[in-house]
Structure 1
């Protein structure tokens, strides 16, 4: 923790003044400041423990719901109509395949855009170096001549 901070969970003149001011203005503010002074160093641990508990609860909930992303519970024979259930499973598989293809296309496009930006940056840098040499300033130490 950064011990150079003005407001840290410790008995410093600033925190004591804020606590007293909080009690004067509105007593719950002073009480909150007192709690921060006393228990503030445990906030990171509390937050980590709370996040892990919530993540565990949602992980168990996802496990009970079939573990399928964004579709809720897995109903194999929810309608009682086997033909409909088979068609639905086939459609969901087709949609998953379409999603995978779209994700691949997006990744390819992102790579293409990154390459375009890199090429544009390289061209701008080369133009800067040409203009610098033309102005008679010479090469920059540590950079290769282009």
Structure 2
């Protein structure tokens, strides 16, 4: 299953159906470059269309990657009617979201440790030059 929320975390929007909803999903599958091309073509063909696409991209946060923290991603799946499967899927998605959050935290700690090591090395080199 391929949904827009996989490409733009936190941006899953309900309520838009029909050709507009299908076009939005098609563009989401292709990512931000497809949205930008659509906006530029809208400006070239008829400027209000380009302006409308730009406004929608900003309003839906597609312009700026939707979220500054991808760890806040929430995935939505419509109920299937099979309560056992829905419960299993819900638990699995929660577990995956928890693992994702833990992994993002781990990566952040690694970045901080690397930054600290680089800073400590810089300070040591600076102290060595000052002594010489």
Q: TM-score range by the shorter chain?
A: 0.3 to 0.5
Structure with larger Rg: 1
Query: TM-score when scaled to structure 2?
Result: 0.47
Query: TM-score when scaled to structure 1?
Result: 0.43
Structure of greater relative contact order (alpha carbons < 8 Å, 6+ residues apart): 2
